[in-house]
A = this chain, B = another copy of it.
Amino acid sequence: MKKNKSAILSAVRQFGTPSYIYDGEQLIKNYKNLKNALPDCVDVFYALKVNPNVSLVKLLRSNGACTEVCSITEMEIALKAGSTPQDIVYLGPCKKDYELKRAISLNIFAIVIESEIELKRVSAFAKEMGIVANVAIRINPDFSAEGSPWKMGGRPTHFGIEEKQAIQNFGKYLDTPDIHIRGIHVYNGTNILEAKSVFENTKYILELYETIAQKYNHEFTMIDVGGGMGIPYFQNQEELDILEFKNLMVPLFTDFNKKYPKTRIIMESGRFIIGTSGCMAVEVNNIKVNHGKTFAVTDGGTNCHSAAAGSGRVVKRNFPIENISASENALEYKYQVSGPLCSPDDIIGRNIELKEIKVEDILLVKLSGAYGPTSSPVLFHSHGYPSEILLYQGEAHLIRAKDTAEDIIDKQIVIDFKQNELILN
């Protein structure tokens, strides 16, 4: 997020708070940064679950990104953003019948199969629809490199088919009627900051492909190696060394591509591309001293940004926060920055030094492009979804309006009860 404060303040005053503000140029730069660190034989698939705003996806798509979706709604967003079905892969441990049928009918590049039961379901639907369904088998590997805060491989999860079982049964998968097995998918970790970890995960997955390809004497048309490239949020974390990443990944993928030129290599990325491109802007509406601590109460907390509130974390650490309304030479004080919820835990800045805060000041929570409002309880206390604003080509574009009271209430249905029977007892 490199935009200047006055552009942000002006956008926020126009469209209201709480809001998420995205830097279009930074978004493109991050995407190119990753793409340029990979050989041409690798396609980057943007993971919509990280941030599904259609205008952001469109911007990435216009610059060449493909799309990885985890629900039928994400798939429709990808299409609306200009993705072709051939540049969509569809993951997720739970896919409903109507979701699978829609994906089959669109003939997307691959439905990623998460269990043997799911493979049978897709086969049955494909037969019913008279279409051969393109799928990839997701494997839960026995290995996961060190360096991810959340290791996905080598332990029981609800993702994919266990490695041993997949290798043993892959012949059966290949023989499944009305199914075209494109290849395999593995996802091994998240928010990884060490290039070597991503490299080791990828190497393991490429070898797993070879094991299966050799065992069944079959060249596939796809391998999805996941991703998990992260960004540093907290002190003492260092950003992924993209040069080291490039030096490790280019020969690895190039060699693989030489051996298996018909196999499309897919790498997924969400957080790395969009995390640093967005921030959350909140307005301070209340200030108070309470039992010796100074609270700045804002209109967006856990409900808009549960990651910044540290929801689910035992150790809560602050995202970087700045008071962009304060003058350059304002004195700094220590604050608790809270959200608007009636919960003592609704704190997005703990003991944080900020330039003196006044009512109506705008605070920015940075590094917030990934896992923002969509992974937060936006309807808690019926506050609603924040606005989303894209700063791009020198203009501020509203890309999602803040929910109004009507937006929220109109979804609810008022029942006319039979009044004569209403009062019990």
Contact = CB atoms under 8 A, between A and B. Distances in A.
The complex is assembled from copies of this chain, and their number is 2
Contact of A392 (B54, B152, B407, B417): B417
Interface of A: 25, 28-29, 32, 48-49, 52-55, 58-59, 62-63, 70-74, 76-77, 80-81, 91-96, 114-118, 121, 140, 150, 152, 154-162, 187, 283, 285-293, 295, 297-299, 306, 311-312, 314, 336, 338-347, 359, 373-385, 390, 392-393, 397-401, 403, 405, 407-409, 411-415, 417-419, 421-425
Contact of A413 (B293, B401, B409): B401
Nearest to A113: B286
A347 B373 CA distance: 21
A92 B342 contact: yes
A414 B54 contact: yes
A190 B344 CA distance: 11
19 contacts: A29-B424, A49-B342, A62-B419, A62-B423, A71-B381, A72-B405, A73-B409, A80-B409, A93-B286, A94-B297, A114-B297, A140-B290, A140-B291, A150-B345, A375-B380, A377-B377, A390-B415, A393-B418, A400-B412
Contact of A299 (B91, B94, B285, B381): B94
Which of A94, A382, A401: most chain B CB closer than 10 A? A94
Given A63-B423, A287-B115, A381-B70, A93 B338 contact: yes
A421 B59 CA distance: 12
Contacts of A285: 94-96
Nearest to A340: B94
Nearest to A360: B97
Contact of A73 (B121, B155, B158, B408): B408
Nearest to A64: B423
Contacts of A154: 291
Top 4 A-B residue pairs of the complex, sorted by shortest distance between their CB atoms: A94-B340, A73-B382, A156-B291, A158-B338
Given A156-B292, A158-B336, 4 more contacts: A63-B422, A76-B409, A93-B341, A121-B359
Which of A32, A92, A93: most chain B CB closer than 10 A? A93
